[in-house]
Amino acid sequence: MGWRMSSALALASVTAVLKDLLENGLARGGVTSKVGGDTSVSALPPDRVTSGADEKPQLNLYLYAVTANTRLQRAPRPNARPLALDLHYLLTAYGAQDFQTEILLGHALQLLHDTPVLERERIRKTIATLSHGKDHRVVPPTLAALAASNLADTVERIEITPEFLGGDDMSKLWTTLQAKYRPSAAYRVSAVVIDGDA
């Protein structure tokens, strides 16, 4: 079988699909009633998430690192070497009241545990839904751009794997992010293969 690769929109597409997975999972799990208010999922750098007295119950999914997937980069391919990547995410829970962060993070961990692979059909449907307006709503340019993503047509499976960071590593990461620490979990999503011509 020949190589089929994603466009440069692959990183944004993976983040969008994961964000949608979490949003829909929280809605299905009735998390709003459990935390006593509306919940949301963002994909922002942690220093851009509102914290403190105005902190709302939410999850934040942040792509904090991109590394080479050496297994795929070494794989034989005619005429070229693939740009094969692993995406590293920090999933963080926020909340101003007792137990809100624990409830949110617990639901998110369960959702990602129950979805260890992003299947092509889920990716295709999610990207189509996010990138096209329905009921005459205007789609932001960043979401509209995802319509050109061909992530769902890639050969490689997109797997979601927990990465267990030790206390020192987590502390260094939050120090680098220059944000107030909140309960978090790290994940590796692999592998995304990008074609420079796509």
For range 154-165, the mean pLDDT: 82
Q: What's the structural domain count of the chain?
A: 1
Taking the CA atoms of 58, 63, 64 and 67 in sequence, report the sign of the dihedral they define: positive
The pLDDT assigned to 139 comes to 81
Tell me the whole-structure pTM to 2 decimals. 0.88
Indicate the range of 38-42, 112-116, 150-154 predicted with least confidence.
Answer: 150-154
Confirm whether 184 is domain-assigned.
yes
Confirm whether 3 is domain-assigned.
no
Confirm whether 128 is domain-assigned.
yes
Separation CA 62–CA 94 (nearest Å): 13
For range 5-31, the mean pLDDT: 89
Higher pLDDT, 79 or 29: 29
Confirm whether 103 is domain-assigned.
yes
Confirm whether 5 is domain-assigned.
no
The pLDDT assigned to 1 comes to 34
Separation CA 59–CA 93 (nearest Å): 5
Confirm whether 173 is domain-assigned.
yes
The pLDDT assigned to 80 comes to 63
Instruction: Report the residue count for the chain.
Output: 198
pLDDT 10s digits, 160-174 = 999 999 999 999 999
pLDDT 10s digits, 89-108 = 999 999 999 999 999 999 99
Confirm whether 1 is domain-assigned.
no
For range 38-51, the mean pLDDT: 93
Separation CA 36–CA 96 (nearest Å): 11
- Structural domain including 123 reads 10-194
Confirm whether 51 is domain-assigned.
yes
